[in-house]
Amino acid sequence: MPACSSIRFDHDRAERIGLPEAVFCAGKAPEHLATLFERFACAEEKPILFTRLEASVMQAQSAAVRAAYNYDPLSRTAWNRTRRTRPQGRVAIVSAGTADSAVAHEIARTLEYLGWPFQLFEDCGVAGLWRIQASIDEINRCDVVIVVAGLDAALASVVGGLTDKPLFAVPTSVGYGIAQAGMTALHSMLASCAPGIGVLNIDNGYGAACAASRILERLYPQHGN
């Protein structure tokens, strides 16, 4: 594979940390991605997740390669197959608005790939507090909560005051002007008055799902994934 000779996979990552390696597609050369798609389309290969994969890149692959993957254009993720679904453990994904859907669905797709059940609560922004109030009991039945919000990201502090579950917050790059492509949301989450919130990088849904998976692995350990 001369076109892909500079790519070296961390094949033992799952054994070390419980999380398999994923392929971050943004910025990679088209010929490198094509080689990877062909390689992991083989039935003998382990499950693999591709993130930040634009629809145009996927459409450029052969019909046979496309047929080997489950691709979702909203989250920009693809996999050849998922890991086994776990019988225990559930994550609540709570988003402020439908504008945050791409990040929320990246979280959902990553969790599905990793084998963890989840429940998606969309459009729960604080402009209508009744929306989070209507869902909070169901959210609290989950083991881990992930909040996704842009603009002022106030939803993270609100949920942080309503749940005792491990809580991760993902700022999104949604918003006008002073929202500064997610910097305002990031600063708001970092400055939250609700204690114990873990904050991820802007738009980093994949990282939030992996953080939740680390906690769930401790709660519900299982060997031989």
Percent helix, strand and coil across the chain, each to the nearest 5: 45, 15, 40
Range of the domain at 40: 2-79
Inside any domain, residue 85: no
| pLDDT tens per residue, range 16-70 | 766 878 899 999 998 899 999 988 888 778 889 999 999 999 999 999 999 999 9
Band of residue 213 on the pLDDT scale cut at 50, 70, 90: very high
Q: Which of the four pLDDT bands, split at 50, 70 and 90, describes residue 2?
A: very low
d(CA 60, CA 32) in angstroms, rounded, equals 13
Is 84 exposed, middle or buried (CB count within 10 Å of its CB: 0-12, 13-18, 19+)? exposed
Give yes or no: residues 33 and 137 share one domain.
no
For the segment 190-208, the average pLDDT, to the nearest whole number, is 96
Q: Is 225 part of any domain?
A: no
**Predicted confidence (pLDDT) per residue in 111-164, tens digit:** 999 999 999 999 999 889 999 999 999 999 999 999 999 999 999 999 999 999
170, 199: one domain? yes
- Domain end, chosen from 79, 113, 145, is at 79
Q: Would you call 70 helix, strand, or coil by DSSP?
A: strand
